[in-house]
A and B are shown apart, each in its own frame.
Chain A
Amino acid sequence: MTTAIAINGVSMEYVTPEGTTHVLDNVSYEVSEGSFVAIVGPSGVGKTTLLRLLSGLQKPTAGEILIRGERISGPPAGLAVVLQDYTRSLMPWLTVERNIALPLKNQKLSKADRSERIESSLEEVGLSGQGGKYPWQMSGGMQQRASIARALAVRPSILVMDEPFASVDAQTRFDLEDLVLKVRDDFGITTLMVTHDIDEAVYLSDEIVVLHGRPAKVRDVVTVDIPFPRSQIQTRNAPRFAELRTHVYAMVRGLE
């Protein structure tokens, strides 16, 4: 399999007036094309920091990140994000449709192509016909669907999500998890997702990266050898699921 993202010896330090925080220490990891990777670790370990580095929003203090062999030096083309705080990541002055249209302005698309993209993205996330609503007229789960639709509309090859379902209720969360799996299936997008929910990580991914320590290192990479397609009821009740989650849980807690 080809490598979509290569993280090579990345370290990150935040320098503030209060002092220097060493967050990531020599993190290396390779993401294969089309795979689903979950990043887990205790709160404050540096998961968001790693995603920000990947998204080109910050530069690492040492090391480099390559996307298809090219070193990134800013937000990479073909990468889209969905952030945790959906109440603040959609523009409240634009309808959902126009929110989705905004990143498309810089892609050379005909008017017809653009509306086709918007329509099909809305359909993919189950929001057909809802594009005329404002984000604040929607529930949290629907807003997060809209964020995903916006990400899909740019036809990304890499989708990066930071705890995207942290603040929706359990049922909505299951629905959104299955939505994300469907999206990966339909488009073959390489997906990286930070989550603090270990069950969610096991349910969704091909591989789980466990960050641990201060500064954080890659403590373990767990291959989730549960076949696709997965289902909320069967997969979560499989013995292998229980084994993996116990293992990952111990890793996150630093017990093993």
Chain B
Amino acid sequence: MIARRIWHWLLAILIGGWLPVLLVTLWWNASASSENPFFPPLELIWEQFKLNWVFLNVPIHLVPSLQNLFLGFAIGVVAGIGLGALVGVSGAVSRYVEPVVDFFRCIPPVALVPIFILLFGLDSAMRVASIAFATTFPILIATIEGIRGTNLVLIDTASVFGLSRAQMLWRVRLPNAMPVIFGGLQVGFQIAFIVTVASEYLGSGFGLGAFTLIATDSFLILDAWTGVLLLGLLGYALSLVFDIVERLTLRWYYGQKQLA
């Protein structure tokens, strides 16, 4: 049983992994004899990558980015799910909140960074706030939708069994909404990643966004490429972790779907 699962996983990774491998191979070969200073050979990028990121620049550029990303995302998750639960449960609140949500969700998240600079200045509070704010909306919207979707049979059964309103929310409506909420978390996390980098383009000496921008401005092309490469690897690894967390949390959901 377990062995079969692991085998399926390996197979999925093999099948899903061949495309990146192919692309990297292509890149490596195509760039090998490149004389274009803006498109250096991947081999050189890789050498520079090891100099920069194993582990010289990790404390000053990677760590602050990750800190902002995780803190901002965490705040966005709490705010999005908390507000979403409130709005989803209460009809009265939703009438006031929903137009506001609809307005803000339409603004490209990155466009808000300058506003947050005005509000918070140029330090990391601004970055965390931007990330949190942008993350909140997809999660909020998914939570409202998920909570509204709770079927009435479940709610009726639970109320006859004497569950309180809080228990109804915590034990019935939120777990029921988890598959939909996870969709929002996924989108939220992607946005958080984008805003993390974008927020470092302005007024920062630290972080991956700042590193890449400063390198480009100073014509340190190899360094810039290592920054981009690290961002790509990081994004890929984080989304992998995200998938695993989702699979574990929603085991019941995928199990049910598989049987249906």
* A-to-B contact residues, CB < 8 Å: 52, 55-57, 75, 77, 79-81, 83, 85, 88-89, 91-94, 102-103, 105-106, 134, 136-137, 150, 154
Contact = CB atoms under 8 A, between A and B. Distances in A.
B162 A83 contact: no
Interface string B98-123: 00000000000000000000000000
Using C-beta atoms within 8 Å of the partner chain, give the interface range for chain B: 20 to 34
B259 interface: yes
Nearest to A134: B252
Interface stretch (B50-58, B167-175, B192-200, B240-248): B167-175
Contacts of A79: 160
A56 B160 contact: yes
Contacts of B252: 92-94, 134, 136
A190 B92 CA distance: 40
B151 A103 contact: no
B153 to A, nearest CB: 4
15 contacts: A55-B160, A57-B160, A75-B159, A75-B161, A79-B160, A81-B160, A89-B153, A89-B154, A91-B154, A92-B252, A93-B175, A102-B163, A134-B252, A134-B255, A137-B259
A81 B176 CA distance: 20
Given A81-B156, A81-B157, A94-B252, 13 more contacts: A55-B156, A75-B162, A79-B160, A83-B153, A83-B157, A93-B175, A93-B253, A102-B171, A105-B167, A106-B164, A134-B255, A136-B256, A136-B259
Nearest to A83: B153
A106 B158 CA distance: 12
A93 to B, nearest CB: 4
B178 interface: yes
A77 B161 contact: no
A103 B161 contact: yes
Contact of A88 (B153, B167, B171, B178): B153
Contacts of A154: 161
Given A75-B162, A102-B161, A85 B153 contact: yes
B194 to A, nearest CB: 32
A57 B156 CA distance: 7
A105 B170 CA distance: 13
Contacts of B157: 81, 83, 89
A57 B259 contact: no
A130 to B, nearest CB: 16
B159, B162, B172: which has the most chain A beta carbons within 10 Å? B162
Contacts of B151: 88
Interface in B108-163: 151, 153-154, 156-163
* Top 4 A-B pairs, shortest CB-CB distance: A103-B161, A88-B153, A136-B256, A93-B252
Given A57-B156, A88-B151, A89-B157, A103 B256 contact: no
Contacts of B153: 83, 85, 88-89
B158, B161, B259: which has the most chain A beta carbons within 10 Å? B161
A83 B161 contact: no
Given A83-B156, A88-B151, A89-B154, A106 B163 contact: yes
A137 B260 CA distance: 10
A92 B156 contact: no
Nearest to A106: B162
Nearest to B151: A88
A69 to B, nearest CB: 20
